[in-house]
Amino acid sequence: MAEYSSGAYFIKRKNGGGGRGAALLVIVLLVLTAGIILLAVFLPKKSEDGLISGAPPANSEKKFYYLVTGESGDITTALLLVQECSSRGGAGYLYNDGIFRSVAAVYDRESDVKELTEVNEGASYFSLAMPPCKLSGKDSAALNYAFGEFNEALYNASRELDRGKMSDAAADFAVSSACRKLKALSLSMENAALARAFDIASEYDAVGDSRTLLSYIRFVQVRATVEVYYALSV
């Protein structure tokens, strides 16, 4: 058998089959050419900076929902609100978008936070939609970890701790492990703003914080999502 550059194989015929063989070869080559053209048209293209322009950003349509226990334009009142929030097991994170908001927790689904606002008097919520961005493959993978495995680890730890189904030691170990991985990822990231956000988000010292462990884990989770949002908004 004769091997062609296309990778296809054809059987040589000795008895007058040359014409048909040549015709078949032409047809196969035409089909292969058409296939190559289609691949060139539909496969994602790399831009000059090496990014795949046809691939969706890692944070595509990602949105977080924040449970608010109180808000105020006065800093003294706001600090009292976050102190009360943290004393009840909430994050006690002070978010400022022109109004100081005492954030108790962050959720992936709007239905979850809506349900909580209905059973907590005076509660409300807001959302942050992560801005689209162009990232290298390494940074995109790191962002997917932050929004996926990292966020899930902190949410599960706080939920199980609140339900009494996880010990303090187990929850602390799960969260500290996730934070160490986030810290390691920040050291090799190319996007400086995002690397800085990961560095802040990965800070974890439950022993040195005055909050309860439940409150502190929720605080770390809220802080992480907000810091990444700020970095992507630059």
The half-sphere exposure of 232 on its side-chain side, counting CA atoms within 13 A, is 26
Measured distance CA(80)–CA(70) in Å, rounded: 10
User: In degrees rounded to 5, what are phi and psi of residue 141?
Assistant: -65, -40
Q: In angstroms, how far is CA 181 from the centroid of its own chain?
A: 14
Give yes or no for residue 57 having a pLDDT over 90: no
- Assessment of whether the complete model's pTM goes beyond 0.85: no
Residue pLDDT, tens place only, 26-55 = 555 555 555 555 444 444 444 333 333 333
Residue appearing with tokens 């992480």:
224
Residue 104 in this model has a pLDDT that exceeds 60? yes
Counting residues of the chain whose pLDDT is more than 90, the rounded percentage is 69
